[in-house]
Structure formats: C-alpha cells, structure tokens
C-alpha cells in the first residue's frame, strides 16, 4: 500500500492525480508475484514517457520548469555550502546570524517559488498529458 501511494505521488508530477491513482493501481494489480523492482521499473518508465510527452508537446514550458528547478536546487545547495564552509573555517553561525540568513534565504528563494512552480507545472503537465493527441 505504501508503494502505491509513493508511486501515485511520482506519477502525479506528470499527470492528473486521478490518472496517477489509476496507473499505480493497475501496476499494483499486475504485480502479482513480481518483485518491487518490477513495480518501480513500471512506474519510472511510465513517468519518463509522460515527461517526454510533456516535453514534446510543450518544450518551452518544460525547459522553464527544469530551469526553475535547477535554480532552486542551486540556491539551496549554495546556502548549505556557505554554512558548511563557515563552520570549517571556524566561524560560529550564531555570531554571523547564519542560521537566520540561511532559513530566510531558503524560505524566500526556494520554498515559495518551489511550491508555486510545482503547482503551476503540475496543472500544465497534467493538462498536456491528459489532452488528446493532435493528428
């Protein structure tokens, strides 16, 4: 059951929550005596195919979402690296107010855009993935 809910979350990044639930349920039913590796292979290949379809149908939006993700991860990694280096050099974070600075930079420059971007991307990708293909 836990695998199915995790699989639904992964698939919901690329399609609607209803479709993700149905796909994960189908994989859980088809699993039978197969291993967990089989189940996750099906989930990851399906997520890859759905992501590829989103890229093919909306390349500019997909590149924008990917760039936003790289920027957000980079800002979080930079804040952590700065904190680590300051500790290695012997600076105390309390003297420099680093925990405060790191917290607010993560909140302002990572969490808020991440939530907004994730919601926008999910609705955009879900609408592209569930739309009928043009012929």
pLDDT string in tens for the chain (135-residue length):
688 888 998 898 888 889 999 999 999 999 888 998 999 999 999 999 998 888 888 888 878 877 877 777 777 777 777 767 766 776 665 555 556 666 666 666 666 666 666 666 666 665 655 555 555
Residue 17's CB is within 10 A of a number of other CB atoms, namely 13
What was the pLDDT predicted at 21? 93
What was the pLDDT predicted at 43? 93
Instruction: Report the candidate in 127, 80, 85 with the shortest Cα–Cα distance to residue 105.
Output: 80
Question: Is the entire prediction scored with pTM above 0.75?
Answer: no
User: Is there a domain that residue 135 lies in?
Assistant: no
Q: Are 52 and 65 within one domain? A: no
**Residue 94 structural domain:** 59-130
8 A C-beta contact, residue 6 and residue 46 = no
Q: Are 26 and 65 within one domain? A: no
Q: Are 50 and 63 within one domain? A: no
8 A C-beta contact, residue 39 and residue 28 = yes
Instruction: Report the candidate in 45, 47, 55 with the shortest Cα–Cα distance to residue 128.
Output: 55
What was the pLDDT predicted at 69? 74
What was the pLDDT predicted at 77? 73
d(CA 112, CA 71): 13
Q: Are 37 and 86 within one domain? A: no
């Amino acid at each position: 059951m836990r695998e199915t809910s995790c699989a639904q979350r992964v698939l919901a990044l690329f399609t609607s929550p209803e479709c993700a639930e149905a796909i994960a349920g189908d994989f859980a039913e088809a699993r039978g005596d197969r291993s967990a590796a089989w189940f996750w292979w099906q989930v990851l290949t399906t997520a890859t195919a759905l992501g590829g379809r989103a890229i093919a149908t909306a390349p500019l939006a997909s590149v924008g979402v990917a760039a936003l993700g790289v920027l957000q991860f980079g800002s979080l990694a930079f804040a952590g690296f700065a904190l680590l280096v300051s500790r290695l050099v012997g600076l105390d974070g309390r003297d420099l107010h680093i925990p405060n600075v790191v917290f607010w930079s993560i909140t302002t420059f990572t969490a808020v855009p991440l939530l907004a971007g994730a919601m926008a991307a999910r609705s955009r990708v879900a609408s592209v993935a569930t739309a009928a293909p043009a012929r």
